[in-house]
Each structure stands twice: as C-alpha cells, then as structure tokens.
Amino acid sequence: MRWGFGLACVATLLGIASEASADVFRDPDTGFTFSQYNAPITTGSVYITFRIAIPSTAIAGQSYDAVLQVVAPNTAGWVGVAWGGSMTNNPLLIGWVNGGSAVASVRRSASHTAPQPYTGATLQVLSKGTKTNGTHWQFTAKCTGCTLFPTSGTNSKNLNPSGGNRFAFAYSRTKPSQPASSTSPINVHDLFNYWEHDFAAAKNSDFPELVARNLNFSSSAH
Ligand code: HEM
C-alpha cells in the first residue's frame, strides 16, 4: 500500500490555504474528476476537503450513483456528509480511518440523536482512493441511494445533477469506539456546517468505466 499524497494534493492543500473555495480536482489515483469544496474547521488553515463525482448521464429526478472522496486531517476521528443538507431525514455518509484502510457507513436519523445504519443506500469503498499519511487520511466511496431519497412523510428529495446542492458536514475528533466495524457507535460531532456543492462540475463522461476500474481494487462496506 502506498501512503504518500500526490503532489497535486499537496498543491491543492497549499492552494486553498488562504480561502475556502469550490473547484475541480482531477484525482490521479482513481481517475475521477471531482467537484471539490474545502471546509474550514478551525480559524487557522485547517480544512476537510469534500469531493463529488457523478455520471455525465445523470438525469434530474432520477437516482444516480455518486462517488464521494473526503480528505481529513488526522485529528478528525470521523467525518460525515449529509446529502440532504441537514442532520435529519437524509442519508448521512460517515467514514473514518482504520489502520491502513477506511470504514464507511450510511446512517440516518429522524432527530438530533445518534443516527442508525440506513439500508436505503449502499456503499462501496474504492481502495485506490483510500489512504493515509503523516498529516491526513482520505477515503473514497461510491454511494447508490444518496442522490434520491425519502425525506419526511411521503416526500423525497433528488439532487440536481446540473447545479448546486445544499450539503452539510459534521466531524468529531473522537474515533468510533469499534473502528473495524461499519456499525460502530459514534460520538456526537464537535463541529457541523453547510455548503452548496457544485454538481455541474462533478460530471464524468467515463463514470461507469472509472467505477469498474476502481472496483477491481475495492472492498465493500455498508
Ligand atoms: C452520535 C451521533 C450524533 C449525535 C448525538 C448528534 C446530535 C446532534 C444535536 C444534538 C444537534 C443539535 C445541535 C445544536 O442545535 O446546536 C445536531 C445537529 C446537527 N448534526 Fe448531529 N449528531 C450526530 C451525528 C451526526 C452526523 C453523523 C451528521 C452527519 C453529517 C450530523 C450532522 C448534523 C448537522 C448538519 C446538524 C445541524 C442541524 C441540522 O442541520 O439538522 N450529526 N446533532
């Protein structure tokens, strides 16, 4: 397993040191072109980076797969993304590092209490996009069921493949208590915040091929 971050990533991290921004990142490891947002988590230059890739064939109103890549400083115990932009009634994709690999899990909660495993979405961790070094860890996971989901009552929400979608993130400095298990309990977050993620810049015309290529190296999680 290779631990080093590529130069592109270092440059990206340095490049965003002065301000948070939305931009595009071409990942040399997985081959995906990601739309990226750097979320500040301290008043210093410390960020969690959130990257999304979707198929260029994605159609508004229909479910489509999405690949999420998260780059977090080693001080982050777990990081979660709320696909519907709030804690309640939407898929919460959380991930953390476990030794040399990552564990990811989709959960859901109807209230501001510990979310429970959610079977309405499935994940595959892409191990080529999952690594750690002396300062950061990152995971990459494909989600089926994260772009069209029930909200409350009989309502559902679908994410616009051609514009911005309101996202939320949360992170905790405390690692999950059973880090090898995707159903591990987690502690409440130390920080949450919101952003608008640009899906128009997340489109990949070779999405199916890239998924297939990456899955040849993958392990599953749920
Ligand atoms: C043990 C796990 C968790 C507990 C006990 C918990 C608890 C809470 C509580 C009590 C609040 C209200 C805070 C306030 O009003 O100041 C809150 C807000 C929030 N939480 Fe969590 N949370 C957990 C996990 C998560 C996860 C995994 C996410 C994933 C992204 C998340 C995202 C958010 C967001 C975005 C808010 C802001 C309010 C909202 O948009 O609904 N939480 N949480």
pLDDT digits (tens, 9 = 90+) for 145-163: 999 999 998 999 999 999 9
Would you say the CB of residue 32 lies under 6 angstroms from ligand 1?
A: no
Q: Whole-model pTM?
A: 0.89
**What is the Å distance from ligand 1's center to 123 Cα?**
21
- pLDDT of 99 reads 87
Cβ neighbours of residue 164 under 8 Å, at least 6 residues apart? 196, 197, 198, 199, 200
Ordered structural domains, the chain, with CATH: 7-221 (2.60.40.1210)
pLDDT digits (tens, 9 = 90+) for 85-102: 999 999 999 999 998 889
Ligand 1 atom 36 nearest Cα: 87
Q: How many whole angstroms separate alpha carbon 37 and alpha carbon 33? A: 13
